[in-house]
Amino acid sequence: MPALAQGNQLESILTKMDQTAATFKSAQADFVWDQYQRVVEETDTQKGKMYVRRQANKVEMAADIISPNEQHVLYDGEKVRMYLPKAAQITEYSAGKNKADVESFLVLGFGGRGHDLQKSFNVKFAGNEQVDGVNAAKLELTPKTERGRGIFEMIILWIDPARGVSVQQKFIEPESGNYRFAKYSNIKLNEKVGDDVFKLKTSGKVTIVSPQG
């Protein structure tokens, strides 16, 4: 595809994402997350449901993992908390000074402005691919900063051009060949999400662990 046509396609997709972001309140979707470890050539698969909500300038994310082991992940704008019912343990990570980075990765392709991607990434339009009946636009994101490239060598987003949200994602780690592949279905935008979704529902006594101290 000629560079001019690529540029026009990219501009069209980023603009659609901007339009979606302007009215974005919430998103919910079923997901399948595959974590591939190259050294052992194994793929760990998690399935569940994800919720994203924006209120004023606050972003919240919740993920209920139902398979293979029950796990609940919650980001409340300040901390990421992971609750493992089987172990009766909550692991907490403070977003701290990395809050902007944390939020950008948690909600990547769900309510963020398309043109904002170009602040942190070199963004390339890499054609269209069919993803579960959607003729998705494939965007290749290469982090601009050395710190960013130390986390991910590249991020690939497949964007639904009609709704401006991500239907598929691939996060490629540097050098190792490891990656996380995420696929989203039954995506619902701006439908009411109850407050209880963004609360960890623990049972019995739990141990709280904070690796960052």
Which domain range does residue 157 map to?
A: 3-209
CATH code at position 183: 2.50.20.10
The pLDDT score that the predictor gives to residue 203 is 83
Helix, strand, or coil here: 4? helix
Whole-prediction pTM: 0.89
Please count the CA atoms within 13 angstroms of the CA of 65 that sit on its side-chain side: 19
Structural domain total, the chain: 1
Per-residue model confidence (pLDDT) at position 201: 86
pLDDT tens digit sequence for 84-115: 999 999 999 888 777 777 777 777 889 889 99
pLDDT of residue 94: 86
How far, in whole angstroms, is CA 16 from its chain's centroid?
18
Torsion of CA 71, 148, 104, 76, to 10 degrees: 50
Strand 58-67: give its sheet, edge to edge. 121-131, 134-143, 154-160, 165-172, 179-189, 26-37, 42-55, 58-67, 71-75, 79-84, 89-94, 207-209
